[in-house]
Each structure stands twice: as structure tokens, then as C-alpha cells.
Amino acid sequence: MNYIKESLSQVLGNDPTRPSKDEQPEALKRIYERKRNKLKKADLEAIAHHSHFMGKWMKRRWITLILVNLLFVISYHFDVQLVEGALTASRVIGFHFADLNSALQVMLAFKHVVLNLVIGTATVFVLWLLLGGRTFCSWVCPYHLLSEWAEYLHLWLAKKKIIKNHVFHRKTRAVLYVVFALLALLTGYTVFETISPTGIVSRALIYGPGVALVWVGFLLLFEVFVSRRAWCRYVCPIGITYAAIGTLSPVRVEYNAETCHHEGDCRKVCLVPHVLDMTIRGRAHDVTQEITADCTRCGMCVDICPTNSLNFKVKGLDRLL
């Protein structure tokens, strides 16, 4: 399977490519054959993890996300000037950082390229090129953390059958990406930045709350009562930008079909479960397979997997994190 091609296809909202039996290597076929009629429902329930709260990678991710945003807050309020600005555009110890999607919106709106913006985007481009996937979303974005907490409430309400989750087509995000770009180009106004909860929450943390937080509250309520993680899954173009860049990253999550029991806990906790389609029995392309760049690299699947079949890997170093 062509990793880059498959990654970009999924980023644009297409379903994962499923191999035919003829395309699967013999080693993988033998693995599936050994498992046939041997993995009973009782066995799967016995090994399944029913609690994934505060796993190893979740702790690391939450701490990192909180510390990154706290740096902006502390620097501003104590006038340290080590970190200036907000997540959309900042300067860290003299180095310019600019969110790639925000920079694109600004350039389209004002039809002008500023040198600092080019320097800032180059810095961020290299950073997320190395880390890969949609790492920004789960490790830095403050709205992601709020949405994650809202998700626990959504899942509890759904379990009690008080609400029902509604899903939308994943290609909606790609369509909206183009719409937001055209709006910036035609109106001369950065429309997406006005409604982006990432920027709104970041600025509210640093400079104080404003009326824009009402919009963020509405989004969270929608995600609690209507659609699980709706903004991140179906609207936000930031994920598309970073996922496209992240296709070349050496940091990836690797799946091992031989040890997998296919109990499905990983897909239940995943923000983007389509990237774990190969964990369904019979759908892997090879014995080991890398998760595509549409993955947020949150590590929840790694935390919850009872058989250690999912792990972070640095490509080229032949070792797991």
C-alpha cells in the first residue's frame, strides 16, 4: 500500500482501501487462518480494557497540551516575553511561529505575503513535518481538550440512551476547507479565524474571556448532545493541513496483525476510527502496517490495546517508543 497516497485519500474523506485476499501476503493469511474460530466473544471480553482513562500516552498528551498553552498565559501575564502572541501566530524566544492554516487564510485575504509570516510558517512546517499526522490537534490545540472532556459526557448520555450520536460524511471537512479558502480570497476577511475555536480559546486563555466564547460553548453543547467530536471530525480545516504535511513524518503508529485479538477497543476510543480499519479481522494489508497521517497521534489506541498490537514507531530507527 502506498502510505502517502492512502493517507491523503483518507484526509480528503475517502474510506480506507480494503485489500482483496489475493493482495494479502501469505504470512498474513496464515495469521488470520490460525485465529479463525479461536477467538470467542467471551475471550475477547476477558482481555478487553473497559477503562482507558489516564493511560500513559494520555497523561503525556494532556500535560504537554496544558504546559504549551500555559506558557503563553504565563509569558503574557508576567511579561516574560519568551512566548508572545497566541497559537495562531506567535514568537518563541525570537523565532516566529505561524499556524499554517491561519497563514494561508491571511495570505488569501490580503493577497500579500509578509516575510515574518513566511519564516513563521517554515518553522511550523518543519516542526509538524517531523512529528507527523495531526499531532497539533491532540497535543497542542486547547479546544481539542475541551472537546475530549465533552466527549466523555456524550458517551455517557449515549450509553444511558438519553441521546443518539449523529454522524456526517467525512468529506464535509474537505469541502469546507475549500469554502473557507474561497471566502478569504473573495471577501478579504479571514472568516475561518473568526469562528475557529482553537484561536478563540487560545486568545481567551491569554488575554481574557470574550463574547466569542459563546460560540465555543455552542459547539461543545452540539458535540455533547448531537454529534461526537463534530468540529474536529467534520469541519476544522486545520487537521487537513497538518495531516497532509504529516504524511512524510518518521513518527507513526504501527499495527501488528499477528498479536491483535480484534476486540475493537482501539476503534471505540479513536477520534478518527477509520484510520484503524485494518484492526478489523481480514482488513489488514500486511502483518505490520502503519496508521495513516489522518491519525491525531493521541496515543489512546496504544494505551487501550490489551495485546500491545499498536505502538509508536520512529521510521528508520527500527524501534518503538
What is the model's pLDDT at position 119? 82
Burial category of 259 from C-beta neighbours within 10 Å (exposed 0-12, middle 13-18, buried 19 and up): middle
Of 215, 244, 273, the residue that ends a domain is 244
48 and 90, same domain (yes or no): no
60 and 174, same domain (yes or no): yes
DSSP 78-118: TT--SEEEETTEEEETTEEEE-HHHHHHHHHHHS---HHHH
How does residue 144 score in pLDDT terms, banded at 50, 70 and 90?
very high
260 and 186, same domain (yes or no): no
DSSP class of 161: T
How does residue 196 score in pLDDT terms, banded at 50, 70 and 90?
very high
How does residue 194 score in pLDDT terms, banded at 50, 70 and 90?
very high
d(CA 116, CA 96) in angstroms, rounded, equals 7
d(CA 100, CA 12) in angstroms, rounded, equals 18
3-state SS class at 213: helix
29 and 79, same domain (yes or no): no
What is the average per-residue pLDDT within 237-255? 91
Residue 16 or 132, more confident? 16
Alpha helices in the chain (DSSP H): 3-11, 26-35, 41-47, 56-77, 100-110, 115-131, 135-139, 142-159, 171-187, 191-195, 197-207, 213-225, 230, 238-245, 265-269, 300-304
46 and 134, same domain (yes or no): no
Of 207, 228, 244, the residue that ends a domain is 244
What is the rounded average pLDDT for all residues in the chain? 89
Of 222, 244, 266, the residue that ends a domain is 244
What is the model's pLDDT at position 168? 94
Reported as a single tens digit per residue, the pLDDT across 204-216 is 999 999 999 999 9
How does residue 173 score in pLDDT terms, banded at 50, 70 and 90?
very high
All three cell numbers of 20, joined, read: 482483496
Reported as a single tens digit per residue, the pLDDT across 62-121 is 999 999 999 999 999 888 878 888 888 888 887 788 888 888 898 889 888 877 778 888
Q: Which domain holds residue 283?
A: 3-55+250-320
d(CA 4, CA 8) in angstroms, rounded, equals 6
Residue 192 or 20, more confident? 192
Give the count of beta carbons closer than 10 Å to the beta carbon of residue 111: 9
Q: How would you label 226-240 residue by residue, b for 16+ Cβ within 10 Å and e otherwise?
A: ebbbbbbbbbbbbbb
All three cell numbers of 133, joined, read: 499526522
Residue 95 or 125, more confident? 125
306 and 190, same domain (yes or no): no
What is the model's pLDDT at position 43? 57
What is the average per-residue pLDDT within 193-204? 95
Q: How would you label 71-90 residue by residue, b for 16+ Cβ within 10 Å and e otherwise?
A: ebeebbeeeeeebbbbbbbb
14 and 139, same domain (yes or no): no
What is the model's pLDDT at position 145? 95
d(CA 47, CA 148) in angstroms, rounded, equals 25
High-pLDDT (> 90) share of the chain, %: 63
Residue 234 has pLDDT above 80, yes or no: yes
Question: How many domains is the chain partitioned into structurally?
Answer: 2
What is the model's pLDDT at position 180? 95
Residue 277 has pLDDT above 70, yes or no: yes
168 and 288, same domain (yes or no): no
Reported as a single tens digit per residue, the pLDDT across 1-50 is 689 999 999 999 999 999 887 889 999 989 888 887 666 655 555 555 54
Reported as a single tens digit per residue, the pLDDT across 290-306 is 999 999 999 999 999 98
What is the model's pLDDT at position 94? 77
233 and 157, same domain (yes or no): yes
